[in-house]
Amino acid sequence: MTRLSVNINKIATLRNSRGGNNPDLVQVAKDCERFGAQGITVHPRPDERHIRYNDVFELKKIVTTEFNIEGNCQEQKFVDLVLANKPEQVTLVPDVLGQLTSNHGWDTIKNQEYLKKIIGVFKNAGIRVSIFVDPVIEMVEAAATTGSDRIELYTEAYAHHYHEDKEAAIEPYVRAVAKAIECGLGINAGHDLDLQNLKYFAQNIPHLDEVSIGHALISDALYYGLENTIQMYLRQLVK
């Protein structure tokens, strides 16, 4: 079964909006695990507008499933944070300073040498590495030669076109995954996956190791409750 990693950035955003510690980020992470999530994801950014760097240290103490830290590895502070906490997985995202949300994958051809170097840094520390990529065959092929263990497919395009033509929306991802499997890469996915489009994605993407979902899941939890929402997402991943 595909693992569900809950991205708790939005919980931190809500907390930060009023100061103090309500909601309690650490308690929410514990509850997500208790309710069935198989991982916790955070994406700290330099301005700490949601996840703060100190949050990562506190979460590392209590996460008992799989801890995934994603972010911009071109920021030395991020690299230092990951190495200090040694999560099970680091996901490398080509963000720029001040970016609202991740909106593209790596150009794994242009950045091949850089990715080889930085991936080696994390793997030498015993951390599994996943890199954010678009569903483009050439980018997947080049990702395989960086030393990365997995790719995380950027699924915004799939989500955007799902309701127009779901077969056409999924087709580039099916081809990209076939190439990734051929190259020996593990498969993660994330961005704009939700209760409407997740099941179809999971059913059509073989060997999908993990999905990381935050914004939609936390938004749904406002209506359905966190425990029920996590269970609803888990059911979408049953093939």
The upper half-sphere exposure of residue 9, i.e. CA atoms within 13 Å in the direction of its Cβ, equals 23
- In the residue annotation, 152 being an active-site residue is answered as no
pLDDT band at 187 (very low <50, low <70, confident <90, very high): very high
| Burial per residue of 169-196, b for 16 or more beta-carbon CB atoms within 10 angstroms, e otherwise | bbebbeebbebbeeeebbbbbbbbbbbe
Single-letter code of the amino acid located at 55: D
pLDDT at 100: 47
Read off the CATH number of the domain in which 135 is found: 3.20.20.70
Q: Which position among 33, 43, 152, 210 bears the catalytic label?
A: 43
The domain tally of the chain equals: 1
Rounded to an integer, what is the distance from CA 193 to the centroid of its chain? 11
Q: Which of 58, 146, 217, 103 is nearest to 69 (CA)?
A: 58
- In the residue annotation, 113 being an active-site residue is answered as no
Q: Which position among 33, 66, 152, 191 bears the catalytic label?
A: 191
pLDDT at 98: 54
- In the residue annotation, 161 being an active-site residue is answered as no
**Which residues, in sequence order, are CB contacts of 174 under 8 Å at separation 6+?**
204, 205
**Quick one: average pLDDT of 148-152?**
98
**Quick one: average pLDDT of 127-138?**
97
Q: Which domain holds residue 165?
A: 3-236
- State the pairing for strand pair 128-133/150-154: parallel
Run of H or E residues at 3: strand 3-7
pLDDT band at 135 (very low <50, low <70, confident <90, very high): very high
pLDDT at 1: 85
Q: Which position among 33, 70, 152, 210 bears the catalytic label?
A: 70
